[in-house]
Structure 1
Amino acid sequence: MLLYIHIPFCDTKCPYCAFGSVTGQHKLHDDYFNALACDLNSQILKFKNLKIKSVFIGGGTPSAVNAKHYDEIFKIFKPFLNKNAEITCEANPNSADLKWLSKMRNLGVNRISFGTQSFFKDKLKLLGRTHLASDTFMAVKNAKKAGFKNINVDLIYSTKLDTKKRLREEIAQISKLKINHCSAYALTLEQDTPFEKKYEYKKDSAILAKFLINELKNAGFKQYEISNFGKPCKHNMGYWKGDEYIGAGAYSVGFYNSQRLYSIKNLKEYIKNPCKKEIEALSKDDLRLEHIFLGLRSTIGVTKTTLNNDEKAKAEILVKSKKLDYKNGKFYTRNFLLADELALFITQN
């Protein structure tokens, strides 16, 4: 079992945070973590002999919240952790100071992920970020001081400012950090929103994506999933394998007992009723199709016995055309950028 904990607060007004900036609203933080504890407890009690393989604390910006708020949350799930459980926490470079990082490390967090997004000032401004490249270097330095060895930075690409030259410089800066993981996400925009008009898509985004992947590979970051490079994150790999997971917090999603469980999205409504979940029942075919799509997007691959006869025949065609590899009873994507297209080809009638 995996555990995902959603922290919907942010230390800046950014397009990636569902609730915007609430820095300084300490009562709201208190109320939210009380609700989160209730949510987490109620779900954990549903399981017998629960073993948690990995924990991911993310969503908004966990570092926007005083580390003391996490004490009670860790007390709840720590008794159920596997011995070598991976515990990741997201953070912003300008809010994760040495004190906060040390506290989280002492609680048990052993992997930190910084929302760097870019090392260019104009691109950071475009993305609504308030930190600078120097903040990322200081944050990574402090993380290492605090005892972190597994460190990730996030990078956003396909903005209107991106070029091959600039992306090469981004990767050069990441190399200087001497970390073991990088997540690179293409800019995605919700339709008919102010952000869609402001940011614009790059017409050559597919070319830039391929270039970025090669640059990361040359820098020593091996791709293991469509957006992730370096030492594989156990939590990420759990998702691609189709492992069950508990989702706790406003806006969170869980998956177990062939059901997807959605928490309340409105922050204040969640605080009033944290244990309420909207449930989506998943059929065996739903789960099978998810396995195909997720498996092809990662190094997990797709087991041949998962496919029906028609799908096996299509997969064999892709092997012959060198789009897929086949070994040890599994199909693997050669180019993750084509993963969804290949999955559709295999599964569509």
Structure 2
Amino acid sequence: MEKTLLYLHIPFCDSKCHYCSFNSYVDRFELKERYMRAVTGQLRSDLETFGIEKGSLASLFIGGGTPSTVEPHLYEPFFEALGGYLCEGAEITSEANPNSATKGWLEGMKGLGVNRISFGVQSLFDDKLRLLGRAHRAAEARRAVEEASHIGFDHLSIDLIYATILDTPQRIEEELERALRLPVDHLSAYELTIEEGTLFQKSPEVRVESLEQAHTLRNRLEERGWEGYEVSNFGRSKCRHNLGYWEYRPYLGIGSGAVGRIGNLRYAPHRQPERYIDDPLFKEEEPLTPQQIREEKILLGLRSCVGISSADLTPPMRERAELLVREGRLTASGGRCYNPDYLLSDEIALFIIG
């Protein structure tokens, strides 16, 4: 029985960060109850439409937006619809913002079965949080993470952003020290990017060149025993849901702004919450060609510990991969090739794809 991933998108946010281009809204809270009924309806339909077997969902990831802006009781029908479909020991993650992840919210989500929280901390310096347009401060972030640990979440993750105008190698090291004092076993470090339609598009000078900072982050974390198992992810434990994406497992995408892929069919519901609520079963479909699937496996595998299988490569691709192995740019083991330098993953992937 093939294991499938499940992603639920929550489009509501209490504020729009200056760098954010995600499908999120700060002025649609009156839609929450109707939206949660709609995602439950889509879930029930997709489980049947795609023939998902009981016990075959390996993970659930609730992302956004800000899932902690939705009260736990509104998630209850969604979790009830999942009854029997999650496999034993499934990883169930919810993202959360420190300012909205109250003790009551954390306890409520744990009661539903959530066993992993990913906090959108982004920085542990107040001046950087203000620059990024975050709604919380460093003390709130520490409080939220420690509260989640006290409540009994064994797996906690935080996100950090680097490559801002306020970052220096010294501040990066200090921020990591502050982060590693928290009761977390996973950390995601993302380079600031300037996206179209964001507030930062008007002030791109807030971003600085980041290669030195990326190496500092990776080196310091790995020196402390944190495995860098993907270009942006480090941990004493891995996020099994993320690993599933990089292994090219099938996944259901539930909610406005979500994307799913089952077999060679990629699909997306309506992005606008209002349109989604009116027609939660709509899907814009994209059949994937064998070449597209091959290329996606290469791009995902080389940016992570998953690597790529020789069986997935065409003969010309295999020749180029073998050349990189001979040059020491890739390593080979058990019919797979692995990339030892994730920061070069795109260049290596494009060379192999040709």
Q: TM-score, normalised by structure 2?
A: 0.94
**Unpaired segments of 5 or more residues in structure 1?**
none
1:108 aligned onto 2:113: yes
Give the one of 51, 57, 72 matched to 2:62. Answer: 57
- The structural deviation recorded for 1:201 is 6.0
1:78 and 1:180 map into 2 onto residues whose CA distance is 28
Q: Which residue of 1 aligns with 2:182?
A: 177
- Output aligned runs, 1:226-237, within 5 Å: 226-230=231-235, 231-237=237-243
Alpha-carbon distance change, 344 to 155 in structure 1, aligned in 2, over 3 angstroms: same
What residue number does 1:167 align with? 172
**What is the CA-CA distance between 1:181 and the residue it aligns to?**
0.3
Which residue of structure 1 aligns with residue 336 of structure 2? 330
Q: What residue identity is the alignment partner of 1:32?
A: Y
Residue among 43, 52, 57 paired with 1:40:
43
Whole-angstrom distance in 1 between the partners of 2:299 and 2:32: 37
Q: Does 1:303 align with 2:309?
A: yes
Three-state SS of the structure 1 residue aligned to 2:13 is: coil
Alpha-carbon distance in structure 1 between the residues aligned to 2:34 and 2:344: 44
Asked if 1 retains the 8 angstrom alpha-carbon contact of 2:117 and 2:155, the reply is: yes
Q: Secondary structure at the match of 1:213?
A: helix
What is the distance in 2 between the residues matched to 1:150 and 1:245? 22
1:282 aligns with 288
Structure 1 residues 258-291: Cα deviation after superposition (integer angstroms, max 9, x where no partner): 1111111111111111110100000111111111
Where 2:59 maps in the other structure, the secondary structure is strand
Q: Aligned pairs, how many? A: 346
Cα deviation, 1:60-100, whole Å, max 9, x if unaligned, reads 00001111111111101132010010000000011101111
Letter in 1 for 2:332: Y
Does the residue aligned with 2:156 lie in a helix, a strand or coil? strand
Alignment of 1:86-105 (within 5 A): 86-105=91-110
Aligned partners of 1:326 and 1:166: how far apart in 2? 37
| Corresponding position: 1:196 with 2:197 | no
Partner of 1:3, secondary structure, is strand
In the alignment, structure 2 segments of 5+ residues that lack a partner are: none
Given that 1:14 and 1:20 are in contact with CA atoms closer than 8 Å, whether structure 2 keeps it comes out as no
Determine if the alignment matches structure 1 residue 222 to structure 2 residue 227. Answer: yes
Q: CA RMSD in A?
A: 1.5
Q: What amino acid is the match of 2:254?
A: A
SS at match of 2:149: helix
Change (3 A) 1:337 1:270: same
C-alpha deviation, 1:113, in angstroms: 0.3
Shift of 1:202: 4.1
Kept after mapping to 1: 8 A contact 2:193/2:207: no
Q: Compared with structure 1, are the counterparts of its residues 48 and 60 closer, same or farther at alpha carbon in structure 2 (3 Å cutoff)?
A: closer
Specify the SS of the correspondent of 1:294.
helix
CA contact (8 A) 2:103 2:147 kept: yes
Aligned-pair identity (%):
43
Tell me how far 1:48 sits from its aligned partner. 4.7
Higher mean alpha-carbon deviation, 312-321 vs 140-149, is at: 312-321
Distance in 1 (CA, whole Å) between partners of 2:277 and 2:6 is 20
Which residue is equivalent to 1:73? 78
Q: Which runs of 4+ in 1 moved over 6 A?
A: none
Aligned residue type for 2:274: K
Q: Distance in 2 between matches of 1:63 and 1:48?
A: 28
Cα distance, 1:144 vs structure 2: 1.2
